[in-house]
Structures are given as structure tokens and as C-alpha cells.
Homo-oligomer: A and B are copies of this chain.
Amino acid sequence: MEMKNKYVTINDYINGAPMESNFSICEETISLSSGEDNINVMVVKNLYISVDPYQLNRMKTHSCSQLLLPESAAILPGQAADDLGSENPGHGGMGQKLLGRRRPGNWGGVIDGSGVGRVVESAHPDFKRGDLVTGRLHWGEYTVIKGVDTISMKKLDPLGFPLSYYAGSILGSSGLAAYGGFFKVCQPKKGDKLFVSAASGSVGILVGQYAKLFGCFVVGCAGTKQKVDLLKHKLGFDDAFNYKEETDLNSTLQRYFPNGIDIYFDNVGGEMLEAAVENMNIFGRVAVCGVISEYTDKTKGAKPDMIAVIYKRIRIEGFLTVDFKDIYEEFISTTVQHLQTGKMQAIEDFSYGVESIPTALVDLFRGNNVGKKVVRIAED
């Protein structure tokens, strides 16, 4: 079998803010010969591809995989360390291998991310042509997977929901990050006052909705009036503000939380984290999902007041979505119910075609997305 495959690659490591010029669109011919070599090989036609901020961390000279010491591999039998980060929805993640396939004379290889596709060829006994699947797919038209396993690739029954919901969106990794981050890491109590940053981003927009349904007071921040309006008027946040219009974040948070913050769901890091700690109540919890302000500029790192952390007994905790596998079924059933009863909404921001992927990523760092960024590669 032979087919043309257009895909995205990067031209060199990206250590600052990403630009379209960092990427190239390449074309290759996929030829799948039959024989023993092809056992467990599968070709998937990509339908929806997730684009997430964390993916930038895998494109740096020092991939964030270096943060993980050897024992990390042990926690995820059957998964390459490479896949750990992929599971990270909103703003965390890392990859041991930057690129899946390197070829002589070509610096880059394919880049992967979570997605939804349809099997067009399979030598794996558990997948057959025509199956819908969700898992790690490449930023391209097709994904050739060698060594398919049923942990990182799953058959998909969309339960009547749009396929895009499963491509890192509300029923995919962003949903699981929001659900696990809120319920497991934040350990919420009814009436808790929750602040979420990047609140119109893929994870924040869901955290706020889960928190409202649970019984929290919820304020989010975002970077445009349009996003703030969406949070306040369409998604039921108690309040929201445009951080770009604020000059002193500490006072801003004091204004929105005169009785302090119990939970801060952090997607941005930097000054916002510092201001949140200043405004935290005793026994406050900070779930660190992402620190997008630091991804492109490490000097923007937060210097939280540790004296306040002691006196207020604040807990600051990082997490990866991969750690929530044990609550996946609970997450799906709860979220499906909320979607069916209209209590939750998926907000998605689409781009179309492989060529749009680089801009889709770049836009995340310019704050141009509203909700989950998904690229539709092909119609089903």
C-alpha cells in the first residue's frame, strides 16, 4: 500500500515564542509492505488533532523529559516515557523523543499529539480497517504507528458526541486534566472560592464549569473582553476579568476575592501565581496545571512568598493528566451526563487542514484561541 502524507515538522529547536517560520510542511510517501516486520503496524487517517501549549516544551533544546528521572518510566507500564506528556492536556507534558521518526538529511520528523482518526490499514489483531481510534496521532494527514498497543491507542465510541470532543477536548485530555486537577488535586469543598487563570483556555474553561456545578464561587481571568464576556455570560462564572487591563494583580485579586482565595487553578504561572499566593486563605490549594507565561521565557518564573506559604499552610502541587487514568471512567460518565443535560458546554476553536497546524500552535501563545484548539484534518 502506498499513499501521500503531508505532515508538519520543525526546522530546529524552539526556545522562545514559536513562530510559523519554525515549522515546515513536508510530504512523504508511505509504503507499507507486508510481512513479519509489519506486525502491530497500523495506519490511521487523522481526523482531528489537538494542539496544546505543552507541546512547545517538547521542542526545546532541553526537552522537559530531562526533568524526569529514570524511575518515572516504571509508573506507566506499557507506555514509553515519550507518551507521558502527551497525556497532559492543557499545559503540561513532555516527550523523551522530540520527534518520532528521524530521517537522514532531514532535521525534523513527525510531531505527535492527541487526536481522533480512522484506521485505514492494520496488522494489529485488535484494530481493523474502519475503526475509529483515539490516542497519539501525528501532526499530519496520516499516522503510521509501529508497535501499536491498546494503552496508548484506543477504539472510540463517540456516544453521539462530535469526534472533536475526544481530540484533547472536553471528553479528551483537557477534560480529564480539568476534572482530575479540580477534584483530585484541589480537593474542593462546597463554597470554596476558586480562581482560575487562562480561564477561557482548553482546561480553564472546563475547570470553571466543574467548579460551578460543584458549588464553588468561581472567578476567571482571560486576555480579551470577548473571552471575559464568554465566561461571565455564557459559562456561568461568577465573575471574570481581563488581566491585560490590570496594573497590580495583587489588588485585582483582592477586589475579586475580598474574602480570599481557597483554590487557585494555575495555568499561567509567573506574576499571577505570586498574586494568588498573596490572596490565598489558610489551607489554600494551588493546582499547577501549566505555566504558559514561563514556557517561552524562563525569567518570568514566579517567586511566591514562601513565608505566606508557611503561615497560611498553602499547598502548591503540580500534576499531569496521565496520573488520572484511574478516574477516567468516572470522568467520562460524569462529563457525558453534564453534556447531555446541558450543564456543561464544550468551547472549541477550530483550524482546518495540516497547513494550519503551525499557526494553531503559535496562536496559543498569542492568546488567539477561545477554548480548546482543535485542527480538523479531514472530514470523516
Contact = CB atoms under 8 A, between A and B. Distances in A.
B282 A72 contact: yes
A14 to B, nearest CB: 15
A275 to B, nearest CB: 14
Interface in A316-369: 316-320, 323
Contact of A92 (B57, B93, B310, B316): B310
A57 B310 CA distance: 12
Contact of A94 (B71, B93, B311): B311
Going nearest first, the 3 A-B pairs with the smallest beta carbon separation are A310-B318, A309-B318, A92-B310
**Among A72, A75, A273, residue most surrounded by chain B Cβ atoms (within 10 Å):** A72
Contacts of A92: 310-311
A273 B303 CA distance: 11
Interface of A: 57, 64, 67-69, 71-72, 75, 85, 91-94, 259-260, 269, 273, 281-282, 288-291, 294-295, 301-320, 323
Contacts of A259: 69, 71
A165 B295 CA distance: 49
Given A67-B312, A68-B282, A295-B307, 5 more contacts: A67-B311, A71-B282, A303-B303, A311-B318, A313-B319
A308 to B, nearest CB: 5
**Among A94, A281, A290, A307, residue most surrounded by chain B Cβ atoms (within 10 Å):** A307
A314 B318 contact: yes
Nearest to A69: B260
A261 to B, nearest CB: 10
Contacts of A319: 310, 313
B315 A316 contact: yes
A306 B319 CA distance: 11
Given A67-B312, A320-B313, A307 B291 contact: yes
A298 to B, nearest CB: 8
A72 to B, nearest CB: 5
Contact of A317 (B85, B91, B294, B315): B315
A84 B315 CA distance: 19
A92 B309 CA distance: 10
Given A64-B307, A281-B71, A307-B67, A317 B320 contact: no
Contacts of A64: 307, 311
Given A69-B259, A282-B68, A306-B291, A317 B318 contact: no
A178 B11 CA distance: 52
Given A69-B259, A71-B281, A281-B69, A316 B307 contact: no
A307 B68 contact: no
B57 A307 contact: yes
Contact of A306 (B93, B273, B308): B273
